[in-house]
Every structure is written in C-alpha cells, then in structure tokens.
Structure 1
Amino acid sequence: MITIHNEVIKAIPNFKLGYIEYENTTISTTPQMFKGRFRLFQESIYFDLLDQELKGVHGLAEWRKIFKQTGTDPSRYRPSAEALYRRIKKGQFLEPVNSGVDINNFLSLKYAIPFGLYDKAKLNGQLSVMIGKENDHYSGLNGRTINLANILHTADENGPFGSPYVDSTRSPISEATTDAIQFVYLVPSIEKEEAIAMLESIASMFTQINGGSFLVQVIQ
C-alpha cells in the first residue's frame, strides 16, 4: 500500500516510516482528563527547555539532519515536531482541537519526531513517499501554499497530501472520520523491533481514547 521512492532511500540511508491504520474509530471532543495531562506535559517540556537547547533533543536533531539530506534548509522549513517544541519554548501552549489531533501532537512531542494523521476516506489508491520536485505544491494547514521542492512528502494517486514539515488541507481528520492513517516519521537510527514496539504503544494509546482497531507496520 505504500511505496518509498528510490530518491528517498538514496538520500536517507535506513529511512523508516511507521504506518498505523485505524478502523472504526471515533474522533470527538478531547476528554477532560487527557486535556489536563496534555497541558501538564507541555508545561514540563517548557521548564525542561529553560535549561536545554533544542539541538540537544535527539529526535529533533536527527530530523534536522534528514531535512538537510533531502536539500531542505531546516532553519527555514522546520520539521513539524521542532515547530511544536519552539511554540512551547515561547510559552505558546497548544490548545485542544479534537481527540485525534491532540493525541497526535502529544505523541509528536513525546517522541520528538513528526507525525501525520489523515482521514483514510479522503485518500485515494496507492500511497507513496518521495522528495518533491519544483512544481509539487499544496495548500498547507498553516494557511500558506507549500512548495514541496526538495521536501520529503507523502502522496496518493491524486497528488501530495502530507509531509513532516506541514500537512495539506486535503485530508485532515475530523469528527466525521471513522478510518484513519497515521504516519510516524521514525528516526533512521531506530531498530525495526524497537520501532514496532513503539508503534504498538502509540496505537494502543490512540485507541484507548478513540476506540476502534489498529494495524501497525514499519515501511523501509
């Protein structure tokens, strides 16, 4: 179901993508208990960053290196996990969105790597991971047109829809979502067995809040 293009393998040795498929899930208002936990977690990160540089956070550092390997300037186009960390470092804590988005952001902060969460019904056919060309672009969730030249991204048969930089407006989850796909942009240094255990933990947490069943896989 997912193809990794040769240019990705060539640019990023040992590239691995975590793939989780959720069925019969229910996206809703985030439970109050999780809202409180998420807020406390962000506050903990904020205080940790008072004495720690972002470059010292392992996942962030490794993904900055990956961006450089594809020809992307990580100081101009920041990996999404780093963008979240920078917001929190400024005291700009994330406000609740829904039970899917909030857990996705929580997990991205926990592991310090980019995550993507998409409504499966809005995607079509074979999925691919590739490095963008000059004419590749989409409308981003940040309100901007995103030029994907040299940026690692995911696409279906209708074109690009997501990336570890910022996702598009085409396939976000909502309270109407029943089946979802989650991409976990693993660090290349992780061993496959460790990655599978990590994906199982992620999926278990997601379904504890949102219900449904899941399937995990490491694509490499």
Structure 2
Amino acid sequence: MEIELSADVIKRIPNFKLGIILYKDIIVGDSPQMVKGRLQLFQESIYFELEDKNVTDLPGIDEWRKIFKLTGKDPNRYRPSAEALFRRIKKQNYLTPIQSAIDINNFFSLQYQVPIGIYDSDQLSGSLKVQLGQEGEEYLGLNGRINSLENLIVLSDQQGAFGSPFVDSTRAPVTKETKNALQVIFLRPSTDIENAEKLTVSLMNMFTQIHGGEASCQILS
C-alpha cells in the first residue's frame, strides 16, 4: 500500500511524521481481561494526574493543538482526538471496552498523547495520500456528524478522505469482521526518528500479540 505525504503538509509542518502499520489476517474480538484492566487502571491514574492541571498542559496535547493552528483549524472547535479522550477522563466519563482493536488504539493514544487511527484496509482503494482538506470537503464521522475537513490533515484514498487526527469517517472502521487493517499514528513532530520507530514497533507488537496475523511498519516523514 503506497502512502504519499503531500507537499502542503510538509510546508506547514516540516518535521511532520506518521507511524504506519499494516496488519494481515488479524482476528478482532472482545478485548482480553488484561487489556480491559490496564485501560481502566490507566484512566484512573490519568484522572488523578489531571486533578490539578488542564488537559492542554499535557505536552502531546499542546503540540497537536499547535499543529491544528498551523494548518488553519481552530483546536477549540476541532479538538485532536487524543485531547477528546483526555477530556472525557477528566470528567470521570471513562472509556468503556468496545472491541480489541479500538481498545488498544485508545490505550496507546492515551499513553503517547497523540491521535491514532485504525482502518479496515479492505475498504480502501488505490494509493493513499496525507494532505490538507479542501474548501467544501466533508464526511460523515464516527461522531455522527457531518464534519468539515477544510484545513484539516486528512488521510485519503481514490474515493476521498476517510480519516483524520480529529475524527474518522464511517467508511472504513475496524469491526469484528475486519481481517486486514491500516493503523496510523499521528506522531508528535518533536519526536525523533529513533523514538518514533520504537513507539511504532511497540504498538505493532502489542497489537499482534492480541490479534495474531502478520504486520509491517514504517515511519513516513
């Protein structure tokens, strides 16, 4: 699967980078109790950590809010997805287990303080591109709303945009029927290549421990 990083993104954010993971022949189901327990305990520790600070004080959240500003998207109206997770936890509205792929995604998004998307790659077509959304571009998101993609970093295939660090579309979500998947880590630009690789491999290894299958990864920068 070819993935291209557009010049307009590089121009706005010179150190922009993504962790890209491809999975084949995975089995998605209910999360094992170990994952459910770790996710719950982690959220509780985050809640106590946030008692005397704002979500925007977290370095990863602050950095991604600045990225939104650099592309021309107001982070107060369009919050990075990781920020939305932390805000839920600060209100003690903890994330409940959904299914294994989403639960792992949420766990690592909280751990790394970055947006992470996962998509059913069999629902995607042709080569992919990471670019800025254009005026009038929009899609139906997993938040149940039609979302404006203008000035938002988006993932697109031949059919158009399907994902972003704000909210993903309803076109290619991973379900319990998914066998092949694409996972995208919207890394902090300040993360060096060595640590970006370690972080990506760590997520890939935990994902395959739970879901089986084969996986390969790369850093796109």
Q: What is the TM-score normalised by the length of structure 1?
A: 0.98
Structure-2 separation of matches of 1:110 and 1:93: 15
The corresponding residue for 1:88 is 89
The corresponding residue for 2:205 is 204
Structure-2 separation of matches of 1:148 and 1:210: 32
User: 1:101: how far off?
Assistant: 0.4
The corresponding residue for 1:103 is 104
1:4 partner letter: L
1:13 aligns with 2:7: no
The corresponding residue for 1:117 is 118
User: 1:95: how far off?
Assistant: 1.1
2:190 partner letter: S
Listed one character per residue, the Cα deviations across residues 21-47 of structure 1 (whole Å, up to 9, x for unaligned) are: 111111001112211111111111011
User: 1:55: how far off?
Assistant: 2.2
User: 1:165: how far off?
Assistant: 0.2
1:135 aligns with 2:146: no
User: 1:52: how far off?
Assistant: 2.2
SS in 2 for 1:165: coil
The corresponding residue for 2:193 is 192
Map 1:153-172 → 2, pairs under 5 A: 153-172=154-173
Identity of aligned residues (%): 51
- Decide which moves more: 55-64 or 165-174: 55-64
SS in 2 for 1:107: helix
- Decide which moves more: 4-13 or 164-173: 4-13
SS in 2 for 1:78: coil
Structure-1 separation of matches of 2:41 and 2:160: 38
Question: Where in structure 1 do 4 or more consecutive aligned residues deviate above 6 Å?
Answer: none
Structure-1 separation of matches of 2:136 and 2:91: 34
5+ residue gaps, structure 1, are none
User: 1:61: how far off?
Assistant: 0.6
Structure-1 separation of matches of 2:58 and 2:34: 27
Structure-2 separation of matches of 1:51 and 1:110: 19
User: 1:131: how far off?
Assistant: 0.6
Listed one character per residue, the Cα deviations across residues 70-123 of structure 1 (whole Å, up to 9, x for unaligned) are: 000001100000000000000000111100000000000000000000001000
2:208 partner letter: T
Listed one character per residue, the Cα deviations across residues 175-216 of structure 1 (whole Å, up to 9, x for unaligned) are: 111110000000111111111111110101111111112111
Structure-2 separation of matches of 1:20 and 1:75: 30
User: 1:140: how far off?
Assistant: 0.3
1:210 partner letter: H
Structure-2 separation of matches of 1:181 and 1:140: 18
Please report the RMSD computed on the Cα atoms of aligned residues, expressed in angstroms: 0.7
Q: What is the TM-score normalised by the length of structure 2?
A: 0.98
Structure-2 separation of matches of 1:33 and 1:188: 31
Map 1:36-75 → 2, pairs under 5 A: 36-75=37-76
Structure-1 separation of matches of 2:55 and 2:176: 34
Structure-2 separation of matches of 1:33 and 1:184: 23
Structure-2 separation of matches of 1:94 and 1:27: 18
Structure-1 separation of matches of 2:210 and 2:52: 33
SS in 1 for 2:215: strand
SS in 1 for 2:130: strand
SS in 2 for 1:49: helix
